[in-house]
Structure 1
Amino acid sequence: MSDAPPDETRLAAEIERLKAEFPKTRELYREVCALLFFRHGITPTANRLYQLVKRGSMGTPTAVLGEFWTELREKSRVRIEHPDLPADLQAVAGELVATLWTRSSTAARDALDALRDEIEVQRGEAQRAVVAARDELARVEGALEQRTGALLAAQVEVRELEKAQAEGRAQRQALEAELERVRATLAARDREFVEVREGFSRDLGKQRDATERAEERFRASEKRALLEIDRERSAATKLQKELDEATHRAEQKDADHRRASETMQAQLGDARHQAGVLQGRLDAVQAENTRLQTEMMTLREAETHARETRASSESAGVRKAPRPTRSPRAVPTAKPATRRKKAV
């Protein structure tokens, strides 16, 4: 028999179950003897039985244990009865079969003990594998939590980028609307300038007819008018040049804005900075437009002054005595300075 102690917890649970099934003390001791000897491979003793059951007096487990061994020997003894065999041969044959049965039982118990040991080893390995699997599961869960946190951070960053992109798109649309308004304003100013130039050409034709009829009387006035026209032509040329430069700058600003819009889609982080740059350039265009408007008003005032000067000169010439007539000469005509305005 194996002297290795069984699992005390399992043994105690089985004895408690037997106590519930066998309320009589002697029957309970008999079942505990069978449990220890046949199931767990433990040789029962009176002290061991009493420690496990804890019922009755010490004589009860001793008496039950004696009955158990007597019954076990009776059951293990093999009787061979045959009419042709002598009585002594029958006893020897019975002892031989009993010995064979005992040895086979011992061998079976040894095999069972080896199997139990192997199972215990496998159980230990399984427990270690379970612990390793739990550690791996904890590591995987930690990595999953880290990846989940990184994913949540990436989602937050994506939402922030989408928000910044929406803000950049709104700013770009606002800048495009402002640029269209500036273009419309410059186109209106261009049309107004063309109308002013045409009116100036008509007025200049009238003045040329009057100058041809009174060349000698209005020579001094003509010189002043020519000087005034030259100044106006120079101012108009300068204004045209500045307007062309402003148009060129506006086109450059438009190109810069388009490049900034394309760059904004790839670099959302620079969207606000680019919007600020475009806003500054737009303010510069508005300031330039304001300056051009001021210069245009100055040009109109100069034209009004020239008209008043010519009118006063004409009225003064009528009051003077006419000089000897001469063949009229062609007076050089001052052509108005032509300007082209490019749409911004």
Structure 2
Amino acid sequence: MDAETTDPLIATSPPPEAGTRPPTPASAHAVPTLDPEDLRPARPAAPAVSAVTQASCGCSSAASPGGTEVEADPALGYVYVLGRVHAVFPDLSVQHEFFQAAGAGGRTDSSDAEAMYRVLSAPENRYIARQMCFVLSVQDVATYILKPADPTELDELVEALRPVRDHRDLAVVVGRLGPVVPPGACQGLSVPEVSVLKVWAFDRKELIGAIERPGEVSKKEFARGATETLDRMLQLSDNAGTLPTARAVNFLTVRSQEIYQTSHRKREAGYILSGVEAVPSRLSTRSQTVVTVVFSYTHRQTNVVEKCFARVGVTGPFPYLVTAFQSYCNR
């Protein structure tokens, strides 16, 4: 794997867009508050979507794998989605060519996943990799066919196939939503195509290991709690990454250390992460679309709810932090 692929995904604060000021740390606010107006939809045409509810996938004229009509972001058509990448053979000719390359020299592999990665990552077999169908599955449901926007993305798609020990590998796919693939193009799959701009593949240990631990907490203890938070976030943010609200939640899941640090402190105080809600912010303008993401923590014994929030810009294909993770105060 090249250096870019192995770099930890999670970052304290992704770089802001050109011409904008970096987000102000939460500690710089004497009384951090969230304007209640943020919780009112800024534009009726962009409905508020809770991350607890599964978002639709695909495009406006397509059907989802479950057979229901799907809704894409009508304004931008960008995708920022979390899932797993696997490769399938588009037809028998490619399948037989793959098997011939896999058996050359008497090589054997301990699993089909290892064979797939070994063959497709070999430079001499790049012609086979170019013919493969790369599929992104969200919660084990085939959601997109991935098409590299340029040759470097093909290498990243192949790298996303690498087997991991615990079989809980993840990938972040950023791209543009395209049309639904014809049923006969990829083993009968009729799902939208995504033109891939960037793929990050990683396993959970890499993600958790990149987070700065708060205080004197042990590495093992923090990793256990952070893994629980990640599992909860993936459960709550089960979506296809097309709506602005879904892309904001997915971005924070893999790029915000503060979620995991705050969740650890809340857990020590007896709270659990109980909900994530994303709504369009009234700070949105014609040139910038902003989403407010609110995290709810419920006390195990008293059922008291405390909230934190962050604002995320989702104007372009790569979301960015607008307001740092901070406490939510009613007023």
Q: TM-score range by the shorter chain?
A: under 0.3
Task: Looking at secondary structure, tell me which structure has more strand per residue.
Answer: 2
Larger helix fraction of residues: 1
The alignment's TM-score, normalised by the length of structure 2, stands at: 0.17
Larger Rg: 1
TM-score (norm 1): 0.17
